[in-house]
Amino acid sequence: MTDITNTNIKAKSGSLSTDYRELKTEAMKLQKKGLPFMLTSVVIWTAITIVRTLPVDIMTKNLYTFYCTSFLMPGAVIFSLITGAKIFFKFQNPFNKLGLLNTMNQMLYLLIVMWSFSQKPEAMLMLFAMVFGAHLLPFSWLYESKTYFVTSIVTTLGAMIISIFAPEIYVGLFMIVCQIVMSVLLMIECRKLDRAQMSKDEL
C-alpha cells in the first residue's frame, strides 16, 4: 500500500514538487487556516442576528438572511488583506484548491435552506446554522485543526438543540459566540504554525 505522506506531487509546471507534508503546511500558512472566512462569518452571523430582530414577517426575515451571505467573498478578501492570508494564491498546490472547494461546497448545501424558505420558514435559521456548522468538518483534516473539528460538531448540534428549546434569536447569538471563539483559536494555531516554521528554518 502506498503511503501518501511519502508521495511526491507534480506541479503544473512539470517540475517535481515538495512532498505531501510541505505542500499541506504551505497551504495552511498561505490561507491562515481559513481565518479570513471565519472572521467574515462573525460579521455575517452578526448581521443575520440583527435581521432576526426586525419587526417584519418571517418570510422577509428569511429573505434578508440570504442577503447577508452575499458578504462572504468580499469579506474574505478584506480579512485576507488584514491578516496577510493569500486565499487565491498559488493554486498549483492542490491543498489550496481543496480549501476553496470545501468553502464553495457550502453553496450546494444551501439548497436545503432554500427549500425550508418556502416549506418550513420557521426552521430556516436552524437549518442554515446546521449547514454552516457541518461544512466546517472537512477543514479539520485539511488544516490539521481540532478547532474546526470541535466547532463543527458543537455548532451543528447546538443550533438544533437551541432551536428546540429557545427563541431563534439565541441561535444567532450562539453562532456569533462560536465564531468569535473559533477565530481566536485559529489565530493561536496560526501563530504556533509560524513559530514552528521559524524554528525549523533556524535549524
38-75 tens-digit pLDDT: 999 999 999 999 999 999 999 999 999 999 989 988 99
Give the confidence band of 201 by pLDDT, cuts at 50, 70, 90: low
Total number of domains constituting the chain: 1
* pTM (predicted TM-score): 0.84
Residue 27 resides in a domain: yes
Please report whether residue 2 resides in a domain.
no
pLDDT of residue 51: 96
> pLDDT digit string (tens) for 133-177?
999 999 999 899 999 999 999 999 999 999 999 999 999 999 999
Q: For residue 146, what pLDDT is reported?
A: 94
Q: Give just the sign of the alpha carbon dihedral 28, 39, 149, 152.
A: negative
3: in domain: no
Q: What pLDDT is recorded for position 80?
A: 92
Q: Is residue 5 part of a domain?
A: no
Helix (H, G, I), strand (E, B) or coil at 166: coil
pLDDT at 15: 40
The alpha helices in the chain, defined as continuous H runs, are: 20-30, 35-51, 58-68, 72-83, 94-104, 106-119, 124-134, 137-142, 146-165, 169-202
Query: Does the residue 7 lie in any domain?
Result: no
Q: What is the mean pLDDT of residues 18-37?
A: 84
Structural domain of 150 = 19-202
Burial label, 183 (beta-carbon count in 10 A; 0-12, 13-18, 19+): buried
So what's the pLDDT on residue 91?
A: 65
Q: What is the pLDDT of residue 11?
A: 42
Residue 83, domain member (yes or no): yes
